[in-house]
Amino acid sequence: MSDINYTIYFDNNATTPVDYRVLDTMLPFLKENFANPSSTHQFGTTVNKAVKIARTQVADLIGAEENEIIFTSGSTEAINIALKGVAESYATKGKHIITVSTEHKAVLDTCKHLETKGYEITYLPVQKDGLIDLDELKGSLRSDTILVSIMFVNNETGVIQPIKEIALLAHEAGALFMTDATQATGKIEMEVDALGIDLLCLSGHKIYAPKGIGALYVRQNIKLPAYTHGGGHEHGLRSGTLNVPGIVALGAACEIAIREMKQDAERVAILRTELENELLKIPETFVNGSRESRMYNVTNICFRGFDANVLIGRMKNLAVSNGSACTSLVVEPSHVLTAMGLCDDDAFASLRFSLGRFNVEKEIKEAIEIIKAQMKNITVVF
C-alpha cells in the first residue's frame, strides 16, 4: 500500500472546504470592512454595497431576482422559514402539505412539528431507485394542498428528482412548489422560472463557502410572515444584523460556481466513475439509488456483510460517511436507504462517497487501496 500520511476527503456532501478564493474575498470583511451595513455613514454604505453585490451573485446562480433572495444561517433555517411561513400564510386555503420520506431531517422534522399544529402531511414513498412516482404525487394532490416540498438532489444517494415535472403537477393543483436544493446549487445549472420553483433553499458550506451562511429564494408574489422580529432586515422575514463576511463569501462562491461548475462536473464525474467501478469489483457490492438520474459527484455503495461504522473507524486517512452528516451520530439505519427498500443490515453496510472540486486522481487510487486493505482485516458478518 502507498504511504498515505494525509486525509483523503470524500465527504463533500457533508461539508466542503472553503475555497481559498472565497476566503480571500471574505477576510477584509472580518478586518477593515467590519461596519454594520445598516449604518448610514460611509463605512456602513460601503459594506452595504458588498452585501448587494453578493445578493445579486446568489440570484444569478439560480436565475432569480436580487430582491427574491433572503440570507439565512443555512439551509435548515431557510427550510424552517419557508415551510412554517407557507403553512401560516396559506392556512385559509388549506392545511395539506406533500413531501417525501427521503427528505433531509430539516424538512421531515419541521413537517412533524406542523402536524402538531393541525396540518396534514403526506409523506410520499420512493421507488427502489430513490425516485418518486409522479402518478402517486398526482394522486396525492388535493384542493386543500398548499405546498409540495421535494428535494432537488438527495444528500445521501445523489438521486435527482424530476423537479420541473413535479412543479408542474403542483401548480396545476393550485399548490406552491418548494425544493431543498442544498446538494444541487452550484453543481448543476438551474433557472427557478424555467423549473417552476417558488421557494428554494441553499447552504454556503456545500459550495465552498463557510458554515453559517445560506439563502432562501422566495418568488416575488409569495408573501411570508416574519420568522424573526426586530428591525425588519431581509424584507422583514429575518431580522438581525447581517453576517456580512458570510454573505460576501457566499456571493463569491456562487460567482465561482457560475464560471466553473461545468468543468468541475466533467472532471469530478470521471473521478467518481473510476472510484465506483473499482469498488464494485468487490464481491457483494452494489450502488444504492438510480445511476441514471444522479448527481455526478456521489456514489452510495453497499458493502454487504460489512459494518460501515467499523470501516469508517479503521480508515484513519479516508473521510467518508454512512448517512447524512446531521444524523451520523445516531446509531440507526439511514432513513433514506430503508425508504428505498434496503434492510437494516444493508443500510448499515453502506458508505457514501461524495467528491468535490479539490479531489484528484491520485486520491482515487489510494482510497481504493485503503478500502480493499481494510476489508481483508474485517470479518464478514453475513
Burial letters for 143-170: b for 16+ Cβ neighbours within 10 Å, e otherwise?
eebbbbbbbbbbbbbbbbbebeebbebb
Which one, of 113, 115, 139, lies nearest residue 125 by Cα? 139
Q: Which residue in 201, 254, 302, 326 is the catalytic one?
A: 326
Please name the residue ranges forming H helices in the chain: 20-26, 42-62, 75-89, 105-115, 134-140, 163-172, 192-195, 244-279, 308-314, 335-339, 344-348, 361-376
Q: Which long-range contacts (CB under 8 A, 24 or more apart) does 302-306 make?
A: 302/342, 302/346, 302/347, 302/349, 302/350, 303/349, 303/350, 303/351, 303/375, 304/345, 304/346, 304/349, 304/382, 305/349, 305/380, 305/381, 305/382, 306/349, 306/375, 306/378, 306/380, 306/381
What is the DSSP code (8-state) at residue 234?
G
The cell for 58 is 446568489
What distance in Å separates the CA atoms of residue 147 and residue 170, rounded to the nearest whole number?
8
**Cβ neighbours of residue 377 under 8 Å, at least 6 residues apart?**
314
What is the DSSP code (8-state) at residue 161?
P
Active site residue 302: no
Which amino acid is residue 1, in one-letter code?
Answer: M
Rounded to 5 degrees, φ, ψ at 206 are -95, -10
What distance in Å separates the CA atoms of residue 139 and residue 224, rounded to the nearest whole number?
28
259, with CB counted inside 10 A (0-12, 13-18, 19+), is exposed
Active-site amino acid positions: 326
